[in-house]
Amino acid sequence: MGEVRWLDDDEQRMWRTFLWASRLLHESLDRQLQRDARMPHTYYVILAMLSEAPDRSLTMSELARLVQSSPSRLSHAVAKLEAQGWVSRCKRPGDARTNLARLTDEGYAVLVEAAPGHVEEVRRVLFDHLSPEQVRQLQAIFESVLAGLTSGNGD
Q: Give the three-state DSSP class for 4.
A: coil
* Predicted local confidence at residue 152, as pLDDT: 63
Nearest to 58 by CA among 17, 124, 71: 71
Question: Given 1.10.4100.10, 1.10.10.10, 3.90.550.40, 3.30.2350.10, which CATH number is that of 28-150?
Answer: 1.10.10.10
Strands laid side by side in the 57-59 sheet: 57-59, 95-103, 87-92
pLDDT at residue 84 tops 50: yes
pLDDT band of residue 118 (cuts 50, 70, 90) is: very high
87 forms beta bridges with: 103
- Mean pLDDT computed over every residue of the chain: 93
pLDDT band of residue 139 (cuts 50, 70, 90) is: very high
Asked if 100 and 79 count as a contact pair (C-beta separation under 8 A), the reply is no
pLDDT band of residue 50 (cuts 50, 70, 90) is: very high
Asked if 56 and 102 count as a contact pair (C-beta separation under 8 A), the reply is yes
Supply the pTM of this predicted model: 0.88
* Predicted local confidence at residue 151, as pLDDT: 81
Domain ranges, ordered by start, for the chain: 28-150
pLDDT band of residue 155 (cuts 50, 70, 90) is: very low
